Amino acid sequence: METKDLKPESLAAQAMGWVDETTRAVSPPIHTSSTYLRDPDNQYRSKRAYARADNPAFDQAEALLAALENGAQAALFSSGMAAATSVFLALAPGDHVLAPKVMYWSLRNWLAGFATQWGLEVELIDMGDAAAVQAAVRPGKTKLVWIETPANPMWSVTDIAATAKIAKASGARLAVDSTVATPVLTRPLDLGADIVMHSATKYLNGHSDLIAGALATREDDASWQRIKALRAQLGGTMGSFEAWLLLRGMRTLYLRVHAASRSAMRIAEHFSRHPQVAEVLYPGLPSSPSHAIAAKQMRGGFGGMLSIRAKGGEAAAIATAAHVTLWKRATSLGGVESLIEHRASVEGANSPVPIDLLRLSVGIEDAGDLIADLERALAAAQGARK
Ligand SMILES: Cc1ncc(COP(=O)(O)O)c(C=O)c1O
């Protein structure tokens, strides 16, 4: 069967069906060379010169991600932050950019600090409100609209198609941090986005054993070439071993994301009726303000990330996290093991995150076991506070 006729699940499982020409290996070798032989006539016909710019170890993961996102090309980076910051640094000082008030905190801090000092005019707005986006966008001056959906750690969903329309009408590009949705649940480029970004550390890899980032582009245009040049110049390039591990993880992406989404839905429903839980934040719940957009935009599930707000405030939230045993108290998300984290402790004073919020990254364990462990922890936390 032709690649174009295959479902993404099949493309991912076989990493596009690639087989090594020389050895017939179905799993790729790990290319570690930092440099490549120049032809006697001074050319580089292999199109490879030096591994800070490019590396054959990236080829398959980049081709697979481009196919899964329906993009023209993809590029791997040394981290999600290296990928995201390259999109902003490819702009010029003086450019106006819009980004969400609620987003991955480290990128928000970088935008408010370094990017602003460097000369970008950064405006943080409520991306859930199309009228606010329309009012903030400045035709000819706004060069980039950055959104994250679902947005960490409150999981509000932004309407990609509507935002793309507003961005396009004013001459701005739209970039989407789709780390949490993954191409399994949302394909931003199909909805009008220009660039999609992933912290590949999370679901794309899925095993909490590497730091990685990736971008996919709708078009191989001048802006994309500038981003690729920045990767080579700043050296935000991924290592060969990491690229190999990432491709291995991506083969099971669809199974993992569907399993995590199913369990997250069960956990969200269960704790939305729990006496010690003030609120469950999950776009899959019909009570969520994001549910209507999520149901329209996300296919096959609402993702593996949710948050709960503990009755009893910050102390109750921290005590609950202290009493889990199956859930692991750790930062990050998107791995096969479930993680719990009190986000306000991480994000500090400028964070919009409520102090009673616990972020849950649902892995692939049995959902009943995860529910029972969190039930026990909530009860133990309440007991400890009496
Ligand atoms: C939504 C989101 N975007 C970007 C990043 C940054 O990715 P990395 O840690 O791979 O640099 C993270 C990391 O937690 C994230 O959760």
pLDDT profile of the chain (386 residues), mean per 10:
90 95 94 96 94 94 98 98 98 98 95 98 95 96 98 96 98 98 98 98 98 98 98 96 98 98 98 97 98 98 98 97 98 98 91 95 98 98 80
For ligand 1, the distance from its centroid to the CA atom of residue 80, given in whole angstroms, is: 5
* Structure confidence at residue 192 (pLDDT): 98
Question: Which atom, in ligand 1's list, is nearest to the CA of 148?
Answer: 1
Q: What is the DSSP letter of 325?
A: S
Taking CB atoms and a 6 Å cutoff, what residues make up the pocket around ligand 1? 79-81, 104, 107, 148, 152, 177, 179-180, 199, 201, 211, 213, 332-333
pTM: 0.97
SS3 278: strand
- H helices of the chain, in order, are 8-13, 59-69, 80-89, 105-110, 116-118, 130-136, 160-169, 182-185, 222-234, 240-250, 253-271, 291-297, 313-323, 343-347, 367-385
**Phi/psi-derived region of residue 375, left when phi > 0, alpha when psi is between -120 and 50, beta in every other case:** alpha
CA distances in angstroms from 243 to 75, 80, 325, listed in the order given: 11, 14, 32
Q: Whose alpha carbon is nearest atom 10 of ligand 1?
A: 80
Q: Return the residue whose CA atom lies nearest to atom 9 of ligand 1.
A: 80
What's the pLDDT at 304?
98
